[in-house]
Amino acid sequence: MSSLLTQSAVTRWTVMLGLTFLMALPGYGQERGLKAKKDSTEAAGGLAYQAKYALLVGINEYQDSNLRNLQYAVSDAEAIRSILIDIYHYPEENVVLLKDEQATREEVMASLSRYIEDDIEENSQLLVYFAGHGTTIGNQFNQLGFLLPHDAKVGSASEIYSTGIRMDEIQEVSKAMKPKHVLFLMDACYGGLANTRSGTASVFIRNALDRKARQLITAGGAEEEVVESAEWGHSALTKVLIDALGKGYADGNEDGIIPAIELFSYIEQRVPFYAEEQGGKQTPQYSKLTPDDGTFLFIRDEEALASLQEDDDSVLNLDAEIIARRFTTPVSITADVDNARVFVEGKEVGYLSRGEFKHDMSPGFYKIELKKEKYELASREVVVMPDTTMHFVFDMDYIYSRVQFDVKPKDAAVYIDDRFVGTGSFTEELQKGQYKIVVSRSGFRPDTSYVNLTLDSLMISFELEHIEARLDLRTIPEGAMVVVDGDTMGFTPLQVSLNYGDHDIYLGKDRYRDHYLPFAITASQVINETIKLRETPEVIARRTYNKRLTGHASNLLIYGAFATGSYIGSKKFRDLADEIDPEDEQQEDDRMLYEIGRWAALGLTGAFAISGLSRLLKLGTLKYSKVLEEQLELELDEQVSLRMDVIYGYDRAGVKATLTF
């Protein structure tokens, strides 16, 4: 069961809730020193309490090692005791204080039961204060809360049940308590017992004193831990109670009387602030434990009761929300601009009027923002302190600059961050910051400026320089058509005027390739340019085709003539050989020479015939389309070779290439 009550889960409790129900229990012996002392001075015809009682419990040390010891529970109870006796005139003998080992289950229950005895004055008030641990067992739908006395054991649920003080047990005892007004102040956060906050209707002083009251104020809700601090030497609730009751700060209307609802309104505004300041969270709770319309009163001045009448504008006649507003902190928010919207924690609460906004705020930590068009968001994290007046001053910077442009020529265009904004002279409002401003017009050198706008107003002047270049253009051969930026200008040789900027020039001539000539004009100058036009692949292919056709035909004729001549020669040598008598031995040598010549001539005839035949075949296979295809492939190879030379940095001869792109 140790997991039920870890150090982070065990919270400090104020016995106030349980004690609110215990107020009716009689039974604490005279040997405890508690006396039913009647007040002999009754103000306003018996309006005063005739007795004041208090039961205070503070537990720092616990027997069970599973419970973390507290530091300031005992000193908290002692501080409340001093305030009750010294300021609110509680008789010392009527203030019972149980500390540490005195605060056992048996002793606490016996002390509570004391207030059901007959000797307890009914026209009295009882304040019950508890500072110690508490816990809850069960689930979110069925919880049972316990106060943990000094001898409580928390090792298991059964131990808690048998050694803790059940809240429903306290509730039963409280029904029999005799004091008319009972207030439980529980300096703790807890769950397991209904704690529904009820509204406070208008209550008059006489009814408030005549009717019973069972009221409860706790330091926080379920699953919240009470915050202690060495800086205060107390818990957050007790620190606030010391100011509220000891210093009288909770007496918002300064009438000398602090009703329970007025006390809670003060507590509600401050405990969360001090808890958060120490890194914790506490949400004080208030409830009426019975339907009675009375209220517990802390009376600083007994004579103040006598001056209160039923029609007085007393705090007792005020709604709880009106009372709560009395204990908020007046906050003034100012800035050097008007009509700025005010946001608190992201929620709009109003706007500045004449540079100021007033707002009542609960003490705490807030993020305040001021927003206005054309002004920089003003944001601050602030601490709203209690019991003072806060003044926060914000600086709101105007984030726009009024820029006046003076541009020449008047029809020049102005671009801001590539956005067209106007021409000539005009005024533009721009958010402060850095901008790229470009002013341009055809025929003029554009002006580019980078401006950092920091002033509320600024004048910027631009005067563009007119740029015009003359291009003397020639081509080889002449007569090429010239097209500049899509417009036909004439035929070469030609003079062309070019304004500032980039221009595309195309040269075109029949039987020659179109030539693209880009020009970037940046200054007024004269440019001489001569372009050698290249023939089209079709023209080159046709010329190559015709040349090959002529060559093959000429060779065919030559080889045919040679073959014919060789054949005639062979016949001539044959005729000469036939004229010689074979029987004539003297001419045998001549005849042999004629035969050799004959066969040699026949051989030449065959060779020339073969050569002529090959030329004939070439003529038969020669086609223009194939010649054009060869030309295109050749040009493609040249382009690839050129690109490779540029990529690797060398020309074909191995010399460093100078071409750049």
DSSP structure string for 537-595: HHHHHHHHHHHHHHHHHHHHHHHHHHHHHHHHHHHHHHHHHHHS-TT-GGGHHHHHHHH
Residue 23: count of CB within 10 angstroms of its CB: 32
Q: Which of 68, 94, 212, 192 is nearest to 142 (CA)?
A: 192
Quickly list H helices, 64-197: 73-86, 105-113, 157-163, 167-174
- Pair 130, 15: CB distance under 8 Å: yes
Low-confidence winner among 194-198, 284-288, 463-467, 474-478 (lowest mean pLDDT) = 194-198
Q: What angle do CA 548, 553, 556 make, to 5 degrees?
A: 125
Q: Name the least confident of 13-27, 139-153, 320-334.
A: 13-27
- DSSP string across 382-447: EEE-SSS-EEEEE---B-EEEEEEEEESTT-EEEETTEEEEESSEEEEEESEEEEEEEE-TTEE-E
Helix (H) or strand (E) holding 528: strand 526-532
In contact, 221 and 16? CB cutoff 8 Å: no
Amino acid sitting at position 262: E
Q: Which two tokens stand for residue 634?
A: 């050749």
Tell me which residue of 53, 89, 85, 293 sits closest to 179, measured CA to CA.
Answer: 53
Q: Over 80: is that where the pLDDT of 358 sits? A: yes
Residue 418 has a pLDDT of 92
Q: What is the pLDDT of residues 301-344, one digit of tens each?
A: 777 666 664 445 555 556 666 676 778 899 999 999 989 999 99
Tokens of 534: 């290249």
- C-alpha to C-alpha distance for 471 and 468, rounded to whole angstroms: 10
Rg (alpha carbons) of the chain, rounded to whole number: 57
What tens digit of pLDDT does each residue of 61-75 get? 999 999 889 999 999
State the DSSP H helix or E strand holding residue 634, giving kind and residue range, or none if neither.
helix 624-648
The amino acid sitting at 304 is A
Distance CA 63, CA 61 (A): 7
Query: Diameter of the chain by CA atoms?
Result: 197
Angle separating helix axes 167-174 and 105-113, nearest 10 degrees: 20
CA atoms of 565 and 559, how far apart (whole Å): 10
Q: What is the pLDDT of residues 613-630, one digit of tens each?
A: 888 888 888 888 888 888
Query: pLDDT of 239-268, one tens digit each?
Result: 999 999 999 998 877 878 888 888 998 998
Q: Which range, of 219-223, 247-251, 630-634, averages the lowest pLDDT?
A: 219-223
- Whole-angstrom CA distances from 143 to 190, 206, 215, 542 are 11, 39, 21, 107
Model's pTM, two decimal places? 0.59
The pLDDT confidence band at residue 15, using thresholds 50, 70 and 90, is: very low
User: Which range among 89-98, 102-111, 212-221, 500-509 shows the weakest confidence by mean pLDDT?
Assistant: 212-221
Q: What is the DSSP letter of 303?
A: G
DSSP string, 210-269: HS-EEEEEEEE-TT-PPPEETTTTEEHHHHHHIIIIIS-TT-TT-SSEEEHHHHHHHHHH
- How far is it, in rounded angstroms, from Cα 299 to Cα 301? 5
Residue 299: beta bridge partners?
Answer: 257
The tens digit of pLDDT for each residue in 410-432 reads 999 999 999 999 998 899 999 99
Given a contact cutoff of 8 angstroms between Cβ atoms, the answer to whether 357 and 335 are in contact is: no
Three-state SS at 631: helix
Say which residue the tokens 């202690």 belong to.
Answer: 228
pLDDT of residue 305: 67
pLDDT of 194: 44
Q: Give the helix/strand (H/E) hosting 325.
A: helix 320-326
DSSP annotation of 5 reads G
Q: What is the Cα–Cα distance from 658 to 654, expressed in whole angstroms?
A: 12
Peptide bond just before 582 cis, omega within 30 deg: no
Q: Between β-strands 481-484 and 457-463, what pairing exists: parallel, antiparallel or unpaired?
A: unpaired
Q: Pick from 353, 388, 382, 354: which is nearest to 368 by CA?
A: 382
Is the CB of residue 259 less than 8 Å from the CB of residue 208?
Answer: yes
| Model confidence at 205: pLDDT above 60 | no
Closest C-alpha to 14, from 277, 294, 324, 238: 238
With cut-offs at 50, 70 and 90, classify the pLDDT of residue 9. Answer: very low
SS (H, E, C) 370-387: EECCCECCEEEEEEECCC
Between vectors from CA 541 to CA 535 and to CA 545, what angle results, nearest 5°?
140
- pLDDT of 199 higher than 60: no
pLDDT at 518 exceeding the cut of 50: yes
Query: Per-residue pLDDT averaged across 598-619, rounded?
Result: 85
The two three-digit tokens of residue 303, written as one number: 């004579």
pLDDT at 208: 64
| Dihedral sign for Cα atoms in the order 445, 446, 450, 453 | positive
The structure tokens listed for 460 are 């910027």
Bridge-based pairing state of the strands 213-220 and 228-229: unpaired
Torsion of CA 61, 62, 68, 71, to 10 degrees: -20
Burial class (CB in 10 A: 0-12, 13-18, 19+), 152: buried
Q: Residue 620: how many CB atoms within 10 A of its CB?
A: 9
